[in-house]
Amino acid sequence: MDRRRFIAPSGLTAMAAGAALMFFLDPDSGRRRRALARDKYLHGKTALQDATESAVHRAADQTRGAIARIQNRIASRPEGTVDLPVEDPTSGSLPS
């Protein structure tokens, strides 16, 4: 009984693979199906490349914007302004 449990999934996998081969290697419609599968694959690949490129460009634009904002804040400071260190509020003693 334990042996059948392990054979069933592999048998189903073999049946599915055989059905897929019959579907794509069919002499009447197989060529059209293979072309359709190839076209869908290429479309998905192109869409993924476009989405990745768009995400990279957006991240680069956001980084450039952040750098420009920081440079603008530094440039707009009055002459002689010095940042003083801020004390950490968690390092003080607790009130009694």
- The CA angle 90-94-96, to the nearest 5 degrees, is 170
- Each residue's pLDDT tens digit, 64-85: 999 999 999 888 877 777 666 7
9 alpha carbon, distance to own chain's centre: 32
Both tokens of 11, joined, read: 């048998």
Contact 59, 49 (CB under 8 A): no
pTM metric for this prediction: 0.52
Supply the DSSP symbol for 44: H
| pLDDT tens figures, 23-63 | 878 888 888 888 898 999 999 999 999 999 999 999 999 99
